[in-house]
Amino acid sequence: MDKWMMYSEAGGHSFLKPLPLMQRRLVFCAFLLITGVCLSHLVKGNSKEQDRLISGTISDETGSLVAGVSVALKGAAVSTVSGEGGVYQLTISGDNPILVFTHVSYEPMEIPVGQQDKIDVVLTLASTSLEEVVLVGYGAQKKRDLTGSIATLSTTQLEDQPVGQIAQRIQGRIPGVQINQTSGQPGRGMSIRIRGAASVNAGNAPLYVIDDAPIVGDINSINPNEIESITVLKGPSAVSIYGSRAANGVVMITTKQAKPGSTSVQLNVNNGVGSIPDRGKPDLMNAKEFLQFQKELFEDRIRYEGYAGGVPELYQNPEAWTGPDTYWLDELLRQSYTGSYNLTLLASKDKFKSATNLGYYDEDGAMLNTGYERFSLRTNNEYRINDNIRIGLNIAPSYQSGQNFGTDGSYAIIFAALTSPPIFSPYETGPDGNRKLRFEGPGLFTQPNWVVTLEDAINREKRLSGLANAFVEVKFLQDFTFRSAASTDMGSQSTRIFNPSTVGNIWSPPPTIPSGSYTTWNHVSWLTENTLAYNKSFADKHNVEVLAGYSSQKYRQEYNTLSGSNFPDDLVTWIDAAAVKNGGSNLNEWSLLSMYSRLNYNYDGKYLLSASIRRDGSSRFGSQRRWGSFPSFSAGWIVSDEAFMEDLPAINYLKLRAEYGLVGNFNIGNYNQYGGVSTTNYVFGGALAQGRSLTSLGNAYLTWETTRGYDLGVDIAFFNNRLSLTADYYQKEVDDMLYQVDIPRGTGFGSIQSNIGSFKFWGYEFAVNSSNLTGAFTWNTDFNISFNRNRVMKLGTNDAPIDGVGEQGTYWKTEVGRPMGLFWGYVYDGIYMNQQELESQATHVTSDVGTVRYKDLNDDGEITPEGDRTFLGDPNPKFVLGLNNSFKYKGFDLSIAVAGAFGQDIINGQLEWSENQDGVFNVRKHLADRWRSEEDPGSGNNPRTTGPGNNFFRYASSRWIQDGSYLSIKNITLGYTVPAYNKLFSRARVYLSCQQAAVFTNYQGMNPEASIQGLNGLREGVDQGAYPVPRTFALGLDFTF
Amino acid sequence: MKKLTYFLLALVFCLGSCNEEFLQVTPESSITDANFFKEESHFEQALVGAYASLRGVKGSRSAHLMGEMRSDNTFYEYNSTDRGVQYISWELMDNFLDDASGPAISEMYNNCYTSISRATAIIDNIPKVELRPEFADRAIGEAKFIRALCYFDLVRFFGGVPLYLSQVTGANDAYLPRSTVEEVYQAIESDLKDATSKLAPPAFPQRGRASRGAAKMLLADVYLTQRKYDLAHVELSDVVNMGYDLLPDYASVFDLAHKNSIESIFEIQYQMGNQGQQSSFVYWFLPITDDASLLTGTQGRVASGGWNVPTQEMIDAYEPDDERLEGSISIIQGTGPVGQMVIESIHSPVGYTTPAGKRSYRFINKFLNPHSLINNTDDNFPVYRYSEALLAMAEVLNELNRAPEALPYLNRVRNRAGLPDIVETNQEGLRKIILHERRVELAFENKRWHDLVRSGTAIEVMNQNGTYLKPLFGHLPDNSYKVTQEKLVFAIPLREILIGNLEQNTAY
């Protein structure tokens, strides 16, 4: 409780600030509960009726009328079947009549009749059915008619997971989609890569489309509980309707809609507590070991460097130490907490359909004073004015607030936790009775008190987002549909940082001069889409769909930043109080015009053809080459519908698919076609002179990056559809890569934005869905596995490689003819054990007896950065997989989700500091066994602490490469559905859920998914100490009223 | 229904009318190359920008490292508690163990070329725009001075470098091989000849722009370095008649009141305050300490210090009674280990010995002046002072076998420092005296390394320096200070070798 209080006070920006955190949660929960109960009574109501005639029409979600639906009065022997045109009539009587609609291809549906005498029904396809409708971008198709490589996932069954981000829930669920949790920072840290996508400068994030509207940011502001399903477009023809933005794949998100004819109120509450598992925590020296290490280090300094100061008193008698013995990492961690509260109102009556979700998510991170909370509201409404006109309006505001620090990476807080000497305690007090702000010791780096740093610093991010879209859809002349939609994506974000005098870093330990900054962004993106669709069947067997559309989008972002330094004290934390203030402000805009068209044709539902073309014009490209065209073709053959397949009754369904297409990537900065002119002021005669200089080179010929590829796939189902398999092979080549080509500095510039370079990608994906057991005990298994490969075909003007030049912090090199982003460095070869070895073997200028030895790869007798570095490993997994099992027995359900990646290497970059031999940090236990003299050379695997060779040991070498393969049990959930026993609710389920249950890996660090640069393809797989991921246990309740 | 249809039709029409203009999005909050270099004010702004980039070339961290710390004048404070890779690379440079991957050579190389490209952009664009001829002359003159100044540093630090003499607009003209040393000097001389004809003589008080005096001084230095003494004499004869003079007191030359004084030929301009125009190089010379306010008057930790520390041998090199010693160096006395020095008192280096229980630090004080914010000083950095013109004149005359004529120039500089006249007229003897005079007069102005190299004494002096330092500093490895002819140029940065496919200097 104390720690939570501290977070609340230090953060100080919660919505319901006057209330302590626990009370706040309780109040919110109670509010949701009461609202839910009230609403459920409002929408239901009771009635008593005489015999009466009920009629209506039955259609499916695509608007087609459905015949052959059984319509029955619940609890009575009255029933009928819908006829041609989906029309039905039924005479009923009795109290509270309920109609039950059933059909083999559709989900059954019950509708209370109430006062109505005309009930139109829209049925939903059964989820396992091939008749299921799948979004394809600007429309929907039945699953069986798809010709592109598209994966769909219903996310409602993933809601049990006690996590705040949708990407966490879908890890391992979708073939071809690699998702890593690279950091455990609350509300952050997820990285997504579809089919190995990578680009040098144009980014590899997919395009996110929410309810048909492409958004400009990521999907983090969306409450995952608002989401009904996710569709991932992967194949070249599947994505090409999104043209210039589709090269990295398209993730389409459908938010929850009311089910036709039903009304319900759902309440979901989920509370979890977590902690960081011990596996992978570094084995650092304890206090006595550290003191001994220091003692020996000074002895060596006296011996080898002529140090005259003697061994400092502190280190002279390690065994007698009775002071603190601190494992710093644990001091910075605490129990984490997650809470998720969702209220969903679904109503569909007559011509009106509405779904509203109100959500609150709250997370206290596992690291002190970090956290995240999100309020979200979404309301999706649809009106049918008449049979031909539909109007929809979706509005989704959200508010996020988080407190996070620079925890990950070089010289950040995880680094500090590894290197702070164990002989200090964060709770030591100084002469003034306050906690010490810094720790000094003979020969040690002065370290801030990291607990105080975490608790006192302010780094508060707030984000207000608003997504809204509206559409009108008009059907006319029977076969035509016109749809006009407008959407906006708005957001404003602020980051306020204040570092009081008690906060510092390892370069400037406290007390420091307080400083702060306040940065805001706001963006508005608007988008209009107008589409015309034509849908017709001729002569029973020719089915044609034609779509044409036009869209325009404009994005505008304003950025303001203020920074303040030299605050007089810590009392006022806003920039107003700073003695020195600086500010800046700028604007970024882009626009996009697009025309697109698609033709789908199938003959007899067996032979499927699709062709599409999109033409995009973007403001981001050079005036000379602004427009690009992106055509695609695909075809499918449903073999199982052929007569000759009747001999193979085990195969229910077999479809072969092929697709080919072109897509683009426009993710570069906004004004790269122009050379940049920046302010470069100077002083003449004591007065400021305004200066301007060309600071970047422009390129008027800049254009899209084009990806050309094909995909071959097969979908097959056996044994009454109980076992289904999807397999795909794809190949794609990225040309005209948008690429900041390094050029000689003699030009005055470091690089020029160009369309040069080419990457090739290929791979296999398999997905298996199996109903292992049906009946009272059901068991379903979903398994998917993906093999992604790539090769660099061409790079800049001289095929100059990317990276691999510098030394410290240089982990990667991307070179023509190899996979991208390979690890690059020296080959570790032990140490020079004695003078004889030093003299007879190749050396670096800083080599000495007892220093690190790397292999002389070019055999020239010297170790140099030019000649003796090589490719050390590959961070790209050989394959990634997901395995999900679910079981049901009576009221019990159990699901286990597993995700894994295999065959990749990872660099344990934390070793750079935690094996540092300077003697200024705490180090790993094994360094006790290091070289001290020829007579006492230690294990032969740990270099000496003295001499000039220390920095050479800090460069990437094969010593840091480890096997990064892992298999992770992401979630286990055990649920029990309580039988409905009174009228308060219609369904109640209680469950226990464990997130990040177990990680199986040989990797020695805490998180095998860590990657300081995310899954970006070129610079992947280096763990520089990431915020660890907690294992969370949660209890959840779902009520439906 | 009808209304709705009309509305929809109108909507479609409206959106359909969007055209190419919709895609024409130019930056609103900055300007681009498309609308730059169109009028006189743009060229003036570009000139200002070219001067601004000289801050990365002259008086920058890499300039202190390569021009001063590499020489026998200064060393560094060995900090065993902070073995940052960057710091180690600076130490290695001082110790002649550097390679092609250190950051200092890249900073120098890149900053020189940044200035060169800014100057070249001005030179290439002037003919395309109609400008007042007097403005165009001045602009070309200043731009060519800047370009020559940078190529002169490049050729001395790195040897023959690629000669970029016209504006690069794309990747096609970005790749040039290394030119020879002679070709680089030819280009420098050609630029400076043009600059000396186009620039006006210095006008006092000066404001910090390059004048004909600056261009001639630079050209004389270029000739002197190439041992073209006749040509150097011609230029210096002009420089000594342009109205420059020595200030009466050496220490006051570096006072804030004497920025751009009559002694200044060219200096890099700074101004303290909030406009980002401040200097801070003196903080690099201070010891690392939590509180240097006794010296600086400002509160806060000095984390960047410990570099460019004069050796005791440097202090000993001053003649007795040379006023320049106290005007250049002071002793900081205190306690605490390296990295955590507690400053207690400031002392003159004259006759100083460190008391028992105390620690001392030799500090370059000539650039320390009053300021109110930490890391925010007002000090300019000198590039050429009139005393250098006088010493260069003395050197040229001595090399032309006119030693007696050389003495008055030399003695003017010595007399100002409170030292007696030199009467030596033996060429070899006077050569040594002038070199030594330059060492103390121009101390810490990043001249020493170039002086050692061009005088042919670098190998001998620096090997001696190693012999002097190694017993004092136990951390110095045996292979340090092994100075050979090949080590007289630095490595071409590794990035340029790999990306530009350049040939590396033989020692690296």
Average pLDDT over residues B174-193: 97
> How many other CB atoms are found less than 10 A from the CB of residue B240?
16
pLDDT surpassing 50 at residue A13:
no
Residues A137 and A161 sit within 8 Å (Cβ to Cβ): no
CB-nearest partner of B31 from A484, A677, A747: A677
Q: What is the mean pLDDT of chain B?
A: 93
Q: What is the mean pLDDT of residues A678-695?
A: 94
pLDDT for A959 beyond 80: yes
- If pLDDT is split at 50, 70 and 90, which confidence band does A27 have? low
Question: Is A445 close to B81, i.e. CB distance below 8 A?
Answer: yes
Tell me which chain B residue has its CA closest to the CA of residue A803: B495
To the nearest whole Å, the CA of A734 is away from the closest chain B CA by 21
Distance CA B225, CA B238 (A): 18
Terminal C-alpha separation, chain B: 82
B121 chain-A contacts, CB cut-off 8 A? 693-694
Whether residue A767 contacts residue A175, with contact meaning beta carbons closer than 8 Å, is answered with: yes
Min mean pLDDT across A96-105, A394-403, A416-425, A775-784 is at A96-105
Determine contact: B50 vs chain A, CB below 8 A.
Answer: yes
Q: ω before B205 within 30° of 0 (cis)?
A: yes
Phi, psi of A610 (to 5 degrees): -145, 140
**Judging by beta carbons within 10 Å of its beta carbon (0-12, 13-18, 19+), is residue A699 exposed, middle or buried?**
buried
Bigger pLDDT: B270 vs A620: B270
* A846-887 residue pLDDT tens: 899 999 999 999 999 999 888 899 999 999 999 999 999 999
Our CA-based measurement puts residue A528 at a distance from the nearest CA of chain B, in whole angstroms, of 8
Rounded CA separation A820/A1013 (Å): 14
Report the Cα A327 to chain-centroid distance in Å: 31
How far is residue A563's CA from residue A30's CA, in Å, rounded to a whole number? 42
pLDDT at A2 over 60: no
**Percent of chain B scoring above 70 in pLDDT:** 96
Can you tell me the mean pLDDT for B75-90?
A: 88
What pLDDT score does A16 carry?
37
A528: pLDDT confidence band, cut at 50, 70 and 90? very high
Above 50 in pLDDT, residue B448?
A: yes
For the segment A19-27, the average pLDDT, to the nearest whole number, is 57
Determine the pLDDT at residue B309: 98
Q: Is the pLDDT of residue A936 over 50?
A: yes
What is the structure's pLDDT at B5? 54
pLDDT-based confidence at residue B95 (cuts at 50, 70, 90): very high
Confidence of residue A58 (pLDDT cuts 50, 70, 90): confident
Task: Check if the beta carbon of residue B465 is closer than 8 Å to that of residue B481.
Answer: yes
Determine, for residues B92 and A845 on separate chains, whether the beta-carbon distance falls below 8 Å: yes
The whole-angstrom distance between B11's CA and the closest CA on chain A is 9
Q: Between β-strands A627-638 and A607-618, what pairing exists: parallel, antiparallel or unpaired?
A: antiparallel
Q: Which amino acid is at A82?
A: S
Asked if A772 and A718 count as a contact pair (C-beta separation under 8 A), the reply is no
Judged against a pLDDT cut of 80, whether residue A982 lies above it is answered with no
Asked if pLDDT for residue A84 goes beyond 70, the answer is yes
A580 and B36 within 8 Å at the Cβ level: the answer is no
Which of B24, B33, B275 lies nearest to residue A675, judging by beta carbons?
B33
Residue of A nearest to B51 (CA): A682
Q: How far apart are CA A102 and CA A123, in angstroms?
A: 9
- Is pLDDT at A1 greater than 80 in this prediction? no
Please report the pLDDT score of residue A542 as a whole number. Answer: 93
The answer to whether the CB of A225 falls within 8 A of the CB of A161 is: no
pLDDT band at A104 (very low <50, low <70, confident <90, very high): low
A1009 pLDDT exceeds 80?
Answer: yes
DSSP annotation of B434: H
User: What is the structure's pLDDT at A983?
Assistant: 66
- Within 8 A of A470 by CB-CB distance, chain B residues are none
Taking each helix axis from N to C terminus, what angle separates B40-53 and B103-125, rounded to the nearest 10 degrees?
160
Classify the C-alpha dihedral B172-B175-B181-B185 as positive or negative.
positive
CA-based nearest distance B196→chain A, Å = 21
Q: Give the DSSP H/E element, type plus range, for residue A802.
A: strand A802-803
| pLDDT of A128 above 70 | no
Query: In sequence order, what DSSP letters do the residues of B169-224 get, joined into one string?
Result: -SGGG----PPPHHHHHHHHHHHHHHHHHHSPPP-SSP-S---HHHHHHHHHHHHH
Q: Are strands A447-448 and A207-210 parallel, antiparallel or unpaired?
A: unpaired
* pLDDT band at residue A234 under the 50/70/90 scheme: very high
CA angle A1030, A1036, A1041 (to 5 degrees): 155
What is the SS3 assignment for A841? coil
Q: Would you call A681 and B100 a contact, using CB atoms and an 8 Å cutoff?
A: no
- From chain B, the residues in CB contact with A581 under 8 A are 274
Residue with tokens 């092994």: B482
Q: What are phi and psi of A992, to 5 degrees?
A: -115, 135
Chain B hits for A306, CB-CB cut-off 8 Å, are: 474
Mean pLDDT score across all residues of chain A: 89
- Percentage of chain A lying above the pLDDT 90 cut: 63
Q: Answer yes or no: do B12 and A484 touch at CB < 8 A.
A: yes
B228/chain A closest Cα distance in angstroms: 28
Which positions in chain B touch A684 (Cβ < 8 Å)? 48, 207-209, 269
Min Cα distance B402 → chain A (Å) is 39
For residues A655 and A725, what is the distance between their CA atoms, to the nearest angstrom? 11
Produce one character per residue of A40-69: b if its CB has 16 or more CB atoms within 10 Å, e if not.
beeebeeeeeeeeebebbbbbeeeeebeeb
The answer to whether residue B97 neighbours chain A at the CB level (below 8 Å) is: yes
pLDDT band (50, 70, 90) for residue A173 = very high
* A689 pLDDT above the threshold of 50: yes
A446 → closest Cβ in B46, B259, B340: B340
Q: Give the model confidence (pLDDT) of B380-430 as tens digits.
A: 999 999 999 999 999 999 999 999 999 999 999 999 999 999 999 999 999
Q: CA B267, CA A832: separation in Å to the nearest integer?
A: 50
**What are the residues facing A521 on neighbouring strands?**
A493, A559
User: In a mutagenesis test of the A interface, which of B21, B101, B338 is the best target, namely the one with the most A β-carbons within 10 Å?
Assistant: B101
Contact list in A for residue B97 (CB cut-off 8 A) is 845-846, 948
Distance of residue B9 Cα from the nearest chain A Cα, in angstroms = 10
Q: Which of A104-108, A633-637, B153-157 has the lowest mean pLDDT?
A: A104-108
Residue A516 contacts residue A567 (beta carbons within 8 Å) = yes
**Do the Cβ atoms of A304 and B474 come within 8 Å?**
yes
Which B-chain residues 186-225 have CB contacts (< 8 A) with chain A?
205-209
Of the candidates A767, A763, A708, A707, the one whose C-alpha atom is nearest the C-alpha of residue A730 is A763
Average pLDDT over residues A564-579: 93
Q: Strands of A121-123's sheet, edge to edge?
A: A87-95, A48-60, A121-123
| A797 against A682, higher pLDDT | A682
Inter-chain residue contact A692 with B299, CB threshold 8 Å = no
- The pLDDT of B218-226, averaged and rounded, is 98
A593 and B18: CB-CB below 8 Å? yes
Of A725-729, A794-798, A886-890, B449-453, give the lowest mean pLDDT range: A794-798
Using CA atoms, how far apart are residues A205 and A218, in angstroms rounded to an integer? Answer: 9
SS3 A119: coil
Query: Cβ of B79 under 8 Å from any chain A Cβ?
Result: no
| Residues 368-387 in B contacting A (C-alpha not used; CB under 8 Å) | 373-374
pLDDT at A731 over 90: yes
Residue A21 pLDDT > 70: no
Whether A30 has a pLDDT exceeding 70, the answer reads no
CB contact under 8 A, A307 and B20: no
Cα–Cα distance for residue pair A583/A95, rounded to 1 Å: 71
Mean pLDDT of A243-271: 88
Contact across the interface for B171 and A754, Cβ inside 8 Å: yes
Residue A108: count of CB within 10 angstroms of its CB: 12
- A566 interaction partners in chain B (CB closer than 8 Å): 373
**Among candidates B80, B4, B47, B364, which has minimal Cα distance to B209?**
B47
Instruction: With a cut of 60, say whether residue B263 has pLDDT above it.
Output: yes
Given CB atoms, is B272 within the 8 Å cutoff of chain A?
A: no
Say which residue, A955 or A305, is predicted with more confidence.
A955
> Which residues in chain B are closer than 8 Å to A867, comparing Cβ atoms?
none
CA–CA distances in Å: residue A10 to residues A4, A24, A123, A455, A570: 10, 17, 52, 7, 13
Which residue does chain A place closest to B13, by CA atoms? A530
Report the Cα–Cα distance between both ends of chain A, in Å, rounded: 34
Cβ atoms of B71 and B447 within 8 Å: the answer is no
Lowest mean pLDDT among A12-26, A561-575, A872-886, B52-66: A12-26
The whole-number pLDDT of residue B17 equals: 45
Please report the pLDDT score of residue A580 as a whole number: 85
User: Is a pLDDT exceeding 90 seen at residue B469?
Assistant: yes
Q: Return the residue of A nearest to B90 by Cα.
A: A951
Contacts of A916 in chain B (CB under 8 A): 83
Amino acid A1016: pLDDT: 86
Distance from CA of B30 to the nearest CA of A (A): 7
Burial class (CB in 10 A: 0-12, 13-18, 19+), A1: exposed
